[in-house]
Each structure stands twice: as structure tokens, then as C-alpha cells.
Structure 1
Amino acid sequence: MKSFKTFDKEKVSFNLAKLKKGGEMFEVIIDPDKILEFKKGKLKAKESVMYEKVFFDAKKGLEASSEIMNKVFNTENVVEVIDVILNDGEIQFTQEYREEKQKEKFNRILEIISRNAIDAKTGLPHPRNRIESAMEEARVKIDVFKDAEEQVDDIVHKLKPIIPIKLAMKEIQIKIPAQYTGTAYGVVSKYGKILMDNWLNDGSWLCSVEIPAGIQNDFFDALNRLTQGTVESKVLR
């Protein structure tokens, strides 16, 4: 995924991508739900903005002139300039959007931990509200741009000084056909820890992965989408 900077020095009324270049500040009004997909390479720049316009000051509606864009970016093509701003600039979200996404991601992580975590001493499930209280006490930081599944292990580790907790885990062996291996590693590693992997003679990828037991169905769904249902899998333990 392309590098992604954010900053919160000031409250804004738009979700923006901002780039200072050639002594000027350039701004683009972004679609906040699409910008991460752009950073993952799944969308084009023009699909990730609200308007195909470049501003000196979006709040005031002050657009950058063709002359200045040509001087600074060596092009008057607005889409090309937008692409540079999205790739090289900083992303600034409204406080409302950031808080909404923080809450959404917090609840998703809480759900995953509640479904998978047990008391490390008794082996019994922890009540959901106890886990939530521990997360608040630990002041866990939620990254709104990372998938919830990627954050679970780190957050559970931070909860251990507060409550005796561990995740119920499963080990699964999967075989990905050769034509899908290019993106398979990123998908698999998002859900769990790769314990073993091996490239087979036909170009397919064989691996075993340890994942939280409660996200097994989500894991299989993601693999089936990736491989159009051709993945082979076996639960080892």
C-alpha cells in the first residue's frame, strides 16, 4: 500500500489532501471512504475525489490557476496534478469523520476479541463489557486505516496487564492456485500469523496460518473471493 500521512493540526470542514510545493499550498477535496482504496491501488485518483478541481484554499473556493499548476507540476492537466497531490501530500479528515470511523473500528475490534478471547486462568469467556472496560483502561489506540483483524493481536497484548486474557486460535492449511498468489500473502497475513509456507512446482502457494477461531468464516470468505472459490483448505487444529 502506498504511504499515507495524516495530520490533525486544525479542524477542517472538508476531507482534504494537501501538498505544499513550489511555495504554494495545493488542496483537493477527497472522498474519505475511497481514499484508502486509492492508496491500496484499487481506485484511480479521479475516483477518489469529490471534484476534479485543485484549490489553493478549498474552504474559500479559491482554485489554483492553470499557470501556477503548469509552473509547479509541469502540467495543466488537473487529473495529473490531483494524482501527485494524493500520492505525495497529507490527508486531513474532518473531526466528525475521524470520530465516526474510530467508533466503528473500535466496535469491530471489540466484537472480534469478545468472540475469540477467553480468561487465561479459567478458560471461560470474558463478558463483552469487561473487555470494553479493559480497552478503555488501556487507552488502546485504534488505527482507522488498518483492518480490525490486523490490530487484534497488539490490542490483546495491551490488555494482558489488566485482565488475564488470551485468544482461542485455530491453525489452518491453505493452498492458493498460482494465478492468485500475487495478492494472497497480503490477504492471509491480514487475518493471522503465517506459520509455514512453501511454493509448489505448479506455482501454487501452500501455507499454514494461525488465526483467531472466531474469524474463521470471515477468513474463508476472503479467500474464496480472492480465488473465485478455488482455494483448498484444511483445519489442522
Structure 2
Amino acid sequence: MISLDEAVTARLESHGARFEVLVDPDAALEIKRGEFDDELEDYIAAEDVFEDASSGDRPAESDLEKVFETTDPLEIIPEVIEKGEIQITAEQRREMQEQKRKQLITTITRNAINPQMDDAPHPPERIESALEEAGFTVDPMEPVSEQVDDALDALRPVIPIRFEEVSIAVQIPPEHAGSAQAKIRQYGDLESEEWQPDGSWIGVVTFPAGLQNDFYDVVNENTSGEAETQVVKDKDDLRTR
């Protein structure tokens, strides 16, 4: 379950009665789109149906039976969300918008590079500033994934930016290979790997280009700075050498 502070109210009026449920806003949108496939109990604030959620008043069981043909809240809640309207306060809207804005900045930072600066990542502060300069407004009721393309369109006149993946070859000396390769291989998609006769490890990992600095930190922390790395320029030839 989620807390009341995290929940929004979904309301359905039918047959002269009102039904309200308390649900996570993102989950509510997924349910409306028919895209929700998680456990409902994890995304509601109460396993209950209300006539007025703010006061805790409940509808008559006869109204539930008449409208939904059941009194089981877990069967009723999705129907209220699907057929009803999502109610949010101004404060909830501001909080949701701020949360989505942070998620959007994180997503862009993780995946974007600056093509005019040797494909270096853009820091979060630059993305945030550029979004403000572009006048981009985050929609609190839309998933971040569906706002990324519009955000990029708004950013391009302000800063040089594009989404890209990078492939980096890493060679780890024998004394660090055992533990370090296990962490490095999990950082992205392991394209290839090879154990050398001396016990060293060579692997090629592909991941969002914006994570390059974090990747190098992981490599250095787990190899005491003794690993060798090289960006693989030819994405069609990811063989370790």
C-alpha cells in the first residue's frame, strides 16, 4: 500500500451514487490506458471504496451491488479508475509536477550527450537550466517516458544534445579481475568478454552515453584505478582485442 500523501482520488458517479478510491497517480493512468499489470494492493492507499474519501464515508452495499455487481473492493477499484475521473488538488499537482520534472532531468542526463564536446554527458544542472530556458512545462499527469521526445525537441534549440549509447572496452588486471568484472558486466549490456591467459579480463559494455562518468567511477573504484578503458567507435565491431 501507499501513503495517503502519495494518493490521488479517482471518482465515479453512477446510478445516483458516488464512488471514490485512493490510488497512486501513475498507476491510475496506467489502469486507464489498460497498461497496468502489477499488484493493485501495492498502489492503493486503502483496500476500500468510499462515498467520500475525505470523510471516510462508505456507500451502501446495495449501491455497490447495483453498479458493480460485487462488493469486493479489489474488483471495484479498477473499474472506478477506468470509468471515473482522477481528482487532484493544486498541491498534489505541484508535487507530482516537481517529481516528474526531476525524473525527466534524470532520464535525459542518463541518456544524452553533447555532440559538440566529444560526446561528453550533459550534467543535470545544464539540462535543468536548458529546460527552464526553453520554457518546457512538465505534465504531471503523463508518464515521463511519453514526455522525453517533446523535451528533447524543446532542448535542441537551446543546447546541442542527442540520445546515444556508448560501448567501452575495459581491461582489468588479474588482481582485480574476479570481483571487478562482476560489477562492471552488470552496468549495461555485455557485448563480449574474454579471459586472458594471465588472468586478466577484457569486456565490452554498452550503456547510455550519459552514464560515462559514473561508469568510469565504478571501474576505478573496483580496480584501484588500474584498469584500461577505450571507447569502441565502430558499433558494428564489438570484438575485444
TM-score (norm 2): 0.54
Q: How does 1:157-176 map to 2 (within 5 A)?
A: 157-170=153-166
Shift of 1:42: 0.7
Aligned residue for 1:134, secondary structure, equals helix
Residue number in structure 1 paired with 2:14? 21
Shift of 1:85: 1.2
Q: How does 1:1-237 map to 2 (within 5 A)?
A: 15-32=8-25, 35=28, 40-44=36-40, 46-123=41-118, 126=122, 128-144=124-140, 148=144, 151-170=147-166, 212-214=208-210, 237=235
- Which structure's CA Rg is the greater one? 2
Shift of 1:14: 6.2
2:114–2:162: 8 Å Cα contact kept in structure 1?
yes
Structure 1, unaligned runs of 5 or more: 1-11, 172-209, 219-234
Specify whether residues 127 and 16 from structure 1 end up closer, same or farther in structure 2 by C-alpha distance, changes over 3 A only: closer
Specify whether residues 153 and 51 from structure 1 end up closer, same or farther in structure 2 by C-alpha distance, changes over 3 A only: closer
1:112–1:215: 8 Å Cα contact kept in structure 2?
no
Aligned residue for 2:51, secondary structure, equals strand
**Partner Cα separation in structure 2 for residue 127 and residue 30 of structure 1:** 34
Aligned residue for 1:164, secondary structure, equals coil
Aligned residue for 1:17, secondary structure, equals strand
Aligned residue for 1:63, secondary structure, equals coil
**Partner Cα separation in structure 1 for residue 100 and residue 77 of structure 2:** 29
Shift of 1:21: 1.8
Specify whether residues 212 and 144 from structure 1 end up closer, same or farther in structure 2 by C-alpha distance, changes over 3 A only: farther
User: 2:39 is matched by which residue type in structure 1?
Assistant: L
Q: CA RMSD in A?
A: 4.0
Specify whether residues 60 and 163 from structure 1 end up closer, same or farther in structure 2 by C-alpha distance, changes over 3 A only: same
1:114–1:128: 8 Å Cα contact kept in structure 2?
yes
Larger mean CA deviation between 112-121 and 57-66 belongs to: 112-121
Question: Deviation per CA, 1:118-167, whole angstroms, max 9, x where unpaired?
Answer: 44445465554333222012232335566645643431222112233333
Structure 2, unaligned runs of 5 or more: 168-205, 216-231, 236-241
Percent identity among equivalent residues? 38
User: 2:9 is matched by which residue type in structure 1?
Assistant: L
Shift of 1:117: 3.7
Residue number in structure 2 paired with 1:189? none
